Amino acid sequence: MSEVKYSKEHEWIKLDGDTAVIGITQHATEMLGDIVFVELPEIGSSVVKDGNAGVVESTKAASDIYTPVSGEIIENNQSIVDDPAKVNADPENEAWFFKLKITDKSEMDSLMNKDEYEKFSKESGS
């Protein structure tokens, strides 16, 4: 399994072969506050890098989820739809959002590694 990469929209992505697991970062959940609603892309649908791939709502507001790479959705995590609070509890493990079959692995190159993301999220503030 490759290293975890991060997008400027505060998603994390882990690639294993052709399969990418995608979720939102701890930093994102801290900015959003208590998450009370999650909408995920449908299995079988195609998503395009930086395109819309779901919605999370906190008690305060709704925010779009973007996919950091293009591909076809092969799995989505129903457990966070049923219990959105899981996203706050464990955003970077158990509360992954969806898995997709990646179209173009080179799209991973433009994403940040952990150190770069930490620097980015500190600078972008909350």
| Residues in contact with another protein by the rule CB under 8 A | 33-34, 36-37, 39, 55, 57-62, 81, 84-85, 88, 126
Would you say 88 or 103 has its CB closer to another protein?
Answer: 88
Residue 41, judged by CB atoms within 10 A of its CB (0-12, 13-18, 19+), counts as buried
Q: How far apart are the C-alpha atoms of 22 and 11, rounded to whole Å?
A: 7
DSSP classification of residue 44 = T
Tell the smallest beta-carbon distance from residue 40 to another protein (Å).
Answer: 12
Whether the CB-CB separation of 62 and 55 falls below 8 Å is answered with yes
Would you say 16 or 89 has its CB closer to another protein?
Answer: 89
Q: Which of 38, 108, 41, 111 is nearest to 74 (CA)?
A: 41
Tell the smallest beta-carbon distance from residue 18 to another protein (Å).
Answer: 30
Q: Which of 84, 41, 86 is nearest to 66 (CA)?
A: 41
Would you say 53 or 112 has its CB closer to another protein?
Answer: 53
Would you say 48 or 85 has its CB closer to another protein?
Answer: 85
Tell the smallest beta-carbon distance from residue 60 to another protein (Å).
Answer: 6
Tell the smallest beta-carbon distance from residue 109 to another protein (Å).
Answer: 32
